[in-house]
Amino acid sequence: SQTIHQWPATLVQPVGSPLSLECTVEGTSNPNLYWYRQAAGRGLQLLFYSVGIGQISSEVPQNLSASRPQDRQFILSSKKLLLSDSGFYLCAWSLGQGAGDEQFFGPGTRLTVL
Amino acid sequence: GQSLEQPSEVTAVEGAIVQINCTYQTSGFYGLSWYQQHDGGAPTFLSYNALDGLEETGRFSSFLSRSDSYGYLLLQELQMKDSASYFCAVQSGGSYIPTFGRGTSLIVHP
């Protein structure tokens, strides 16, 4: 069976500090991978997605970046965090089967920037 | 672009039936999905509709009307554990990546 891991679960960082969130998927090959951010009481905003190693698409301009160094590893980074980067970050994977493609979400990382 | 509208909050009592509506505006529509998210948890997939009509899965059903750009999630025999946020999400416009609505918070009272 497939599982998705994210760490850390919670993180408190000062403004201007770097960020690295990691996501790994087990039990599947060549998944599509996604990073979402969810602000309090809001929907899911797609930040990045990847259809393969080294292939990253960015949905919104921001001071975040993503990388996919291995097939089942997806990393979200920032060189200098802003207050507005606070939120709940969710990693997800899907089989990339087109219409009806179900997304499987990780447990999330709650980031607070002070 | 794409836009989705769903109520921000719905309340109901245990054992009742509740309907959560979702209207969307998009081009090149493929289908509508529903996800459930408990407070602090990960969203989980509930259903997907590509064609008009009702899809039933246990206590949950999802309906789609493509001509009206409208769908709803129907929850029957409500239980306290159904208290959660429910998101509709649309796939459209050449991309199979879903665009999520802002979610509906369902509060179930005893």
- Name the band, by pLDDT with cuts 50, 70 and 90, for residue B58: very high
Percentage of residues in chain B with pLDDT exceeding 70? 100
Residue B83 carries which DSSP code? -
pLDDT value, residue A98: 78
Report the C-alpha gap between A64 and B97 in whole angstroms. 20
Q: Residues B89-94: what's their mean pLDDT?
A: 86
Query: What local confidence, expressed as pLDDT, does residue A40 receive?
Result: 77
What is the per-residue pLDDT for B19? 98
Angle (CA) A65-B99-B2 rounded to 5° is 110
Residue-averaged pLDDT of chain A? 92
> Minimal Cα distance from A93: which residue of B?
B97
Query: Which of A43, A97, A101 has its CB closest to that of B100?
Result: A43
pLDDT over threshold 90, residue B37:
yes
Can you spell out the DSSP letters for A16-80? Answer: T--EEEEEEEES-SS-EEEEEEE-TT--EEEEEEEEETTEEEESS-SSEEEEEEETTEEEEEESS
Q: Identify which of B85, B90, B67 has the alpha carbon closest to the alpha carbon of residue B75.
A: B85
Contact call for A90 and B30, based on CB within 8 A? no
Measured CB to CB, residues of chain B less than 8 Å from chain A are 30-31, 33, 35, 40-45, 48, 50, 87, 91, 96-103
Decide if B9 contacts B109 (C-beta within 8 A): no
Contact B5, B22 (CB under 8 A): yes
Residue B1 in this model has a pLDDT that exceeds 80: no
What is the predicted pLDDT for the residue at A20? Answer: 96
Q: Which residues of B touch A103 (CB under 8 A)?
A: 35, 43, 45, 98
> Which residue in A42, A99, A102 is closest to B45 by CB distance?
A102
Tens of pLDDT along B5-35?
999 999 999 999 999 999 999 988 999 999 9
- How confident is the model at residue B94, as a pLDDT? 75
- Which residue does chain B place closest to A48, by CA atoms? B97
The H or E element that residue B35 is part of is strand B29-37
Determine the distance in angstroms separating the CA of B43 from the nearest CA of chain A, rounded to an integer: 6
State the average pLDDT over residues B38-65. Answer: 95
Which one of A34, A102, A104 makes the best mutation probe of the B interface by having the most chain B beta carbons within 10 Å?
Answer: A102
* Angstrom distances, CA of residue A97 to CA of A1, A3, A28, A94, B95: 18, 18, 13, 8, 11
Which positions in chain A have a beta carbon within 8 angstroms of at least one beta carbon in chain B?
Answer: 34, 41-44, 46, 49, 90, 96-108, 110
> Which residue of B lies nearest to A101 if distances are taken between CA atoms?
B96
Give the pLDDT band (50/70/90) at residue A69: very high
* Residue B88: strand, helix, or coil: strand
Q: For residue range A7-45, what is the model confidence (pLDDT) as tens digits?
A: 999 999 999 999 999 999 999 999 999 999 998 777 899
Nearest Cα neighbor of A85 from A20, A15, A8 is: A15
A34/B97 CB distance under 8 A = yes
- Give the confidence band of B89 by pLDDT, cuts at 50, 70, 90: very high
Q: What burial class does residue B79 get, using C-beta atoms within 10 Å of its C-beta: 0-12 exposed, 13-18 middle, 19+ buried?
A: exposed
Q: Using only C-alpha atoms, what is the Rg of chain B?
A: 13
* pLDDT: which is higher, B104 or B92: B104
Q: Is the pLDDT of residue B55 over 80?
A: yes
| DSSP labels, B9-29 | EEEEETT--EEEEEEEE-SSE
Query: Is the confidence at residue A56, as pLDDT, over 90?
Result: yes
